[in-house]
Chains A and B, each alone.
Chain A
């Protein structure tokens, strides 16, 4: 692995934007077949969200189940080190042109261009905000931001936390806050049901963290930063029930209202997009090789529909071999063999009452694809 910054090769076969699980898996896979790969990431370390995740992943042995997210990240980086993949960190991509020119800058200095033959956009997801009175006060942040502060930078974001959202992110980050020594006063959800996995919910209930469904935040109060939250009960249509309001002390409010695909580069490229709620919002339309409406440009991971790191890695591998085939490194037959193995693993991850909705949504996306 070369950490190219100044001496970056400006003519590349596959340029990958985003060194998360999707981008790195694609890089590793494509490089295996001889593709010259360059990965660009605006962060100062590779791995994307994997290094914020201190909990064990679900899945099977093939998906590294039972292993913690950051450990999976370390394994991936070890493999990348042994390969010829080049990674350029602190490198933000501002735009991509249909002729596959990539515009970027390193450490926000001068804008540079490079020319690619194939591009994979794997920029991940972005946390969705929710707005309420006082929501801009310091101490109110995305659950992912709190997770990054604790698990990557080792800074405790608060002492008494209120979590909004019972999806897996809300449940897991509540648990991790408690592990880090923060008191979690409760987890709210506007819906009448917990939306994440029951095992995650049970784990935090055992740890004496209350979960209040049919409740939401109405207001955050405080002078310099958040000091309390006003919580209200809602009915089954999420309408506020009058006179069911109370105030609770806290110095941290985490919002876990879901993620959306981080799709700005795709919009700017005028890619075909489709709104799919289950996948987080506007998703670039792609075929079953992860190819978009723009020739030789691929997508993978949360950008191609918000799912999980385990699916992101499989989609990345798929994009990696599709690019290798595209560039002439892999025969049709070899490609098809590899692809069916990957699809098999992806299908496994999209089983069950949680996965099936994503599987259906991905099918809709494939069906709307006419290229």
Chain B
């Protein structure tokens, strides 16, 4: 009897967006867009009728427009890193990254909808888009879900080389 289904030969990319695909979407920043502080990183590549990210952005940095199935276009220079879109996105597909948090670390905010929430300074296991362990991370900030910002958000510090790899964590 097998214990885990992920050991079965399978197209492991199923349901996982690749970096190559993400680079073709208008909400995913290039490396150079990520040089100047915290900004949103949108991993949305399907024509779903959905635009709360556009409505909630206080800086008009996200445009979906008409029709409502357009992919969100992020104007990286207008994004202030306020995190509002992360909290409202029904697809939980928006993250925020400060690539140059310090010399060798990046900061990534991840929408997190499990209880208990982690605590500040806790060491957690950072995971990639397939749920595989990448590295250890330190929790910097925990934002509880609020009425307006409807998911919990957790900021974790990771080695810089993993800023485009880490997208989840567990503890």
Contact = CB atoms under 8 A, between A and B. Distances in A.
A194 interface: yes
Nearest to B1: A247
A186 B6 contact: yes
Nearest to B94: A199
A241 B14 CA distance: 20
Interface string B1-43: 1111110101100111100000000000000000000000001
A348 interface: yes
Contacts of B49: 58-60, 348-352, 355
Interface string A196-207: 011111111111
A197 B131 contact: no
Interface in A57-71: 57-61, 65-68
B102 interface: no
Contact of A208 (B1, B46, B48, B127): B127
Nearest to A67: B150
Interface string A290-307: 000000000000000000
Q: Helix, strand, loop or mixed for chain A's interface? A: mixed
Contact of B90 (A56, A201, A210): A56
Contact of A202 (B5, B43, B47, B113): B43
Contact of B129 (A56, A202, A248, A349): A202
A182 interface: no
B62 to A, nearest CB: 13
| Interface size range on B against A | 35 or more
A205 B16 contact: yes
B6 A351 contact: no
B44 A199 contact: yes
B82 to A, nearest CB: 15
Contacts of A210: 4-6, 8, 10
Contacts of B10: 210, 212-213
Contacts of B150: 56, 66-68
A312 interface: no
A354 B167 CA distance: 26
A194 B6 CA distance: 16
Contact of A65 (B1, B8, B47, B52): B52
B46 A197 contact: yes
B92 interface: yes
A63 B46 CA distance: 19
A206 B48 CA distance: 20
B55 A61 contact: yes
Contacts of B4: 185, 210
A351 B55 contact: no
Contact of B131 (A206, A213, A231): A206
Nearest to A210: B6
B133 to A, nearest CB: 9
Contact of B130 (A208, A350, A353): A208
Contacts of A197: 46, 48, 91
A68 to B, nearest CB: 7
A137 interface: no
B92 A203 contact: yes
A124 B116 CA distance: 35
A170 to B, nearest CB: 12
A273 interface: no
A296 B15 CA distance: 46
Q: Which residue, of B50, B93, B113, has the highest number of chain A Cβ atoms within 10 A?
A: B50
B50 A59 contact: yes
Interface in A164-210: 178-179, 185-186, 194, 197-210
Contact of B2 (A67, A248, A349): A248
A249 interface: yes
B56 A66 contact: yes
Contacts of A248: 1-3, 5
B3 A249 contact: yes
Nearest to A64: B52
B168 interface: yes
Question: 3 smallest A-B Cβ distances: which pairs?
Answer: A208-B131, A199-B91, A201-B15
Interface of B: 1-6, 8, 10-11, 14-17, 43-52, 55-56, 67-69, 88-93, 113-114, 127-132, 150-151, 167-168, 170
10 contacts: A56-B89, A58-B48, A60-B51, A60-B52, A61-B51, A61-B52, A67-B150, A199-B90, A208-B127, A351-B69
Interface of A: 55-61, 65-68, 178-179, 185-186, 194, 197-213, 228, 231, 246-249, 348-355
